[in-house]
Chains A and B, each alone.
Chain A
Amino acid sequence: MVKEYFFEETDRTNAFITRLDLAMYEETGGPLEGKGIAVKDNISTAGIPTTCASRILAGYVPPYDAHVVTCLREAGAAIVGKTNMDEFGMGGSTTENSAYGPTTNPHDASRVPGGSSGGSAAAVGAGMVDMALGSDTGGSIRCPAAFCGIVGLKPTYGRVSRYGLIAFSNSLEQIGPLGKTVADVNTLMSVIAGPDPRDTTAYDRPYTHTPSNDIAGMKIAVPRRILRRRCGPCCCRACAHCYRKTGRCRCRDADLFHSLHGLCPCCILCDLYE
């Protein structure tokens, strides 16, 4: 049975490019039944305009759903709108490079929310929705999640079908979840992850992870050299605070020898400029 979802939240951060004040969902008995979910505006939604935050695609209405959107609908979610982003996912990590105006950080309007999935992160950070979908090539979920004080995950490449994602870099990007809590991120991840014959890079294995807060006995790798070289003192202090809080765990220094060599092809393919 189809039901109505009234989306009445005020958008004070310009998180949405398109919003559906009356969204519909199906009583499917799925894990997202009756939940309002925001979707980044580079993910195709049948019947809902999809702009990639660019005037080039103004007026474009996709004739089909992305695989992840089909998954959301089958899980009972109400899609409440399409979120702001850097145009086609490019142009920095700030969500200032949008034809629909910048998104601001929900915690401080004078700051950026990170990008390129800044609209999705701001919508969750501002409490408009519990969960949202973003996409990540070189930090586009992880950075805005951190900037907005929420949780975000770039899935391992192949974990989530890219069918219906308007591509920035086919061989690098993934659609992924953003949420207020690790549990929410896991719920959304379990809905969208899985095989899809329309994306031949998608794994043929189901996603069965269950998060746990039991960290006893775990070792945590700390990339101290990268922290020292690349992060400001404020970030280093925050990381040190987290390491202390892990008490029962043992933190170990780890050198990520291949991180620079991994970054180079990404910068070349995506024309990133570090």
Chain B
Amino acid sequence: MVLENDVEGIAKLADIHIQKEELAEFTSRFNHILEYFDILDTVSEGEEGEADLVNVLREDEVTPSLTQEAACANAHETEDGHIRAPRVM
């Protein structure tokens, strides 16, 4: 069960601004989504494994890719050919 306090705390951690009047709506939605886990808990786990799965990783070989200039073209700020991002913490 999620309470309004929890939603406020999660929003703060995620740096998302939620208005006071939105809290009840978000709390209700969080709880509704958690109910889906209760439904999934009713599914019985089968005995069969996933024996047919195969690995699809490729060999680690260098192939042609974007130039540094093209990769940085959309960055707001660059430094020595790298993308410079603002501090987040």
Report which A residues bind B (CB closer than 8 A): 59-61, 63-64, 197, 200-201, 260-261, 263-265, 267-268, 271, 273
Q: With A197-B58, A200-B56, A273-B29 given, is the CB distance from A264 to B70 under 8 Å?
A: no
- In the complex, given contacts A268-B33, A271-B33, A273-B32, what are 12 additional A-B residue pairs having Cβ atoms less than 8 angstroms apart? A61-B73, A61-B74, A63-B71, A64-B70, A197-B58, A200-B57, A201-B56, A261-B39, A261-B40, A264-B39, A267-B36, A268-B37
Nearest-neighbor residue (CB-CB) of B30 within chain A? A271
Q: Note all chain B residues with C-beta closer than 8 A to A60.
A: 74
Q: Are A261 and B29 in contact (CB under 8 A)?
A: no
Q: Are A264 and B74 in contact (CB under 8 A)?
A: no
B66 interface hit (Cβ, 8 Å): yes
B51 interface hit (Cβ, 8 Å): no
Given the complex of chains A and B, what is the CA–CA distance between A264 and B33 in angstroms? 8
B88 interface hit (Cβ, 8 Å): no
Q: Are A264 and B73 in contact (CB under 8 A)?
A: no
Nearest-neighbor residue (CB-CB) of A60 within chain B? B74
Q: With A60-B74, A273-B32 given, is the CB distance from A260 to B39 under 8 Å?
A: yes
Shortest beta-carbon distance, B37 to chain A, in Å? 7
Contact with A along B40-63 (1 / 0, CB 8 A): 100100000000000011100000
User: 7 A-B pairs, CB-CB below 8 angstroms?
Assistant: A59-B74, A63-B70, A200-B56, A200-B58, A264-B40, A265-B36, A268-B36
Contact with A along B1-35 (1 / 0, CB 8 A): 00000000000000000000000000001001100
Shortest beta-carbon distance, B62 to chain A, in Å? 14
Q: Note all chain B residues with C-beta closer than 8 A to A260.
A: 39
Given the complex of chains A and B, what is the CA–CA distance between A201 and B56 in angstroms? 8
Nearest-neighbor residue (CB-CB) of B73 within chain A? A63
Q: Are A64 and B66 in contact (CB under 8 A)?
A: yes
Report which B residues bind A (CB closer than 8 A): 29, 32-33, 36-37, 39-40, 43, 56-58, 66, 70-71, 73-74
Shortest beta-carbon distance, B72 to chain A, in Å? 9
Given the complex of chains A and B, what is the CA–CA distance between A60 and B74 in angstroms? 6
Given the complex of chains A and B, what is the CA–CA distance between A64 and B70 in angstroms? 9
Q: Note all chain B residues with C-beta closer than 8 A to A264.
A: 36-37, 39-40
Shortest beta-carbon distance, A262 to chain B, in Å? 10
Q: Note all chain B residues with C-beta closer than 8 A to A197.
A: 58
Nearest-neighbor residue (CB-CB) of B58 within chain A? A197
Given the complex of chains A and B, what is the CA–CA distance between A5 and B31 in angstroms? 52
Nearest-neighbor residue (CB-CB) of B39 within chain A? A264
Q: Note all chain B residues with C-beta closer than 8 A to A61.
A: 73-74
Q: With A197-B58, A268-B33, A273-B32 given, is the CB distance from A63 to B39 under 8 Å?
A: no
Given the complex of chains A and B, what is the CA–CA distance between A60 and B57 in angstroms? 31
Given the complex of chains A and B, what is the CA–CA distance between A40 and B74 in angstroms? 20
- Set A261, A263, A273: member contacting B43, Cβ < 8 A: A261
Closest 10 CB pairs of A and B: A264-B36, A63-B70, A200-B56, A264-B40, A264-B39, A268-B36, A267-B36, A273-B29, A60-B74, A261-B43
Shortest beta-carbon distance, A106 to chain B, in Å? 32
Nearest-neighbor residue (CB-CB) of B41 within chain A? A264
Nearest-neighbor residue (CB-CB) of B76 within chain A? A59
Q: Are B33 and A273 in contact (CB under 8 A)?
A: yes
Shortest beta-carbon distance, B33 to chain A, in Å? 6
